[in-house]
Amino acid sequence: MRESCYASMVMSERAASSPVNPSVTQPAAADVAALLTRHGYRVTGPRRVVVAAVLKQHRPFTAEQMVAAVHARDPDIGRATVYRTLELLASVDVLKRVLRSDGRPAYISGEPGHRHHLVCSDCGSTVAFSACPVADLVRDLSRDTRFRIDGHLLEVFGICPGCQHAGHEPGAAAAGIDTLSQ
């Protein structure tokens, strides 16, 4: 389990104007390419297209949404290439897998490092945070159960300030969560 933590905020376009968002930390495409190369992976043209599409996202996205975004850019890139690249990016910590408020899996990009997420149940905006409130629990569970704990996930769901201000009800814009930011 990684002990180092990086703080990052990833907000939807609606929440980006909020004063809570002092900086959005997103790796550069060149940094991702260098990271892949350091891990022994080839940085092919199709992978570059997928990485560029991934880094444009500022909210959680599904693999199918990424397939659609990549196909809009280059219809010759296959579904399998997109899925493999997403898994590869997750394996080198550029992407994190998160559960959305509806329970479906999604990805979110950001600087590598240990992080957890606040997810708006209405618009899908996400705030990554590096404080790890379960570190003591993980240590105690490992001691009490003799499990070798390899990691954990934490997503906290609620309504972001923008949706609260707009008077949105939870889930009112669930269809909006399925759209990718361009």
Q: Give me the residue spans of the domains in the chain.
A: 15-177
Of the candidates 138, 128, 108, the one whose C-alpha atom is nearest the C-alpha of residue 1 is 138
**CA triple 114-88-181, angle to 5 deg:** 75
Residues 119 and 100: beta-carbon distance below 8 Å: yes
pLDDT for residue 176 is more than 50: no
Is residue 176 left, alpha or beta, with left meaning phi > 0 and alpha meaning psi from -120 to 50? alpha
Quick one: pLDDT band at residue 10, thresholds 50, 70, 90? Answer: very low
- Domain 15-177: which topology? Arc Repressor Mutant, subunit A (1.10.10)
18-73: pLDDT as tens digits: 323 333 467 889 999 998 999 999 999 999 999 999 999 877 899 999 999 999 99
pLDDT number for residue 113: 63
